[in-house]
Structure 1
Amino acid sequence: MQWQGRSVRRLTGGRNHPACGKRRYEHGRAPAETHIGENKSRIVRVRGGNTKVRALRLNVASVSNPATGETKKSGILNVEANPANINYVRRNLLTKGAIITTDLGRARIVSRPGQDGVVNAVLIQ
């Protein structure tokens, strides 16, 4: 569990004396870190009683072709580039903005697999 409240330290390095302690609404969770593999997901309850689908592993993407407007399911082969982190390419992590190689060609991920549970991508010409 991660705490996402205000830091105990100030920018100068001095100590901040908070008026209140940690609150439950300030806690966060570890990232999903979606890999390429056989489909595996987890349902997580979020604030307000809603749910999110955390994709832990995925091997299929819905790839959209902007030229024709068609969307087809395609297998994910590997991750080519990832502007979020260079090391994600080596680990084959799927995040928004990552460039992936699919059966239909190169595509950029436009969805958030760790939050939506699916990979939606757009073909790159």
Structure 2
Amino acid sequence: MEFWLTQGTDSLHLPVPPDSYAIKRALNNSSVVVESIGEVSFIGKPKLAEIPPITSFFPVRYYNFCQYRSFPTPKSCTDLIEKWMATGKPIRFFITGTSINLTCTIEDFEHGEQDGTGDVYFTLTLKEYKTITLGG
């Protein structure tokens, strides 16, 4: 499995894949109480998919668990994600070998060093993005 983020012609293949991934899907269901019947449920339309925080790190050097060798520097990776955030446009998030291929907004991006190696650890939170089209 490879984890990818893209926007336009820019792409980032995460050098160190997260330990796990998940996608949360839900519906906008509601219920009302109807006299003489009781509570009645209504099935709603789908909510936007939520991707729980993705945590990993951008390595400063190659480790045997990295997915490839010629990866960008940690600064290049964080600068690219921050650039994407500044555009006000969604990104694409996909994981090879799965059905996950979503247009997303970057909800939160936190990064920093932890252990003096120069590796930059990060947490990235994404949420599905839908383009609104009028008419039909």
**TM-score bracket, shorter-length normalisation:** under 0.3
Higher relative contact order (CA 8 A, sep 6+): 2
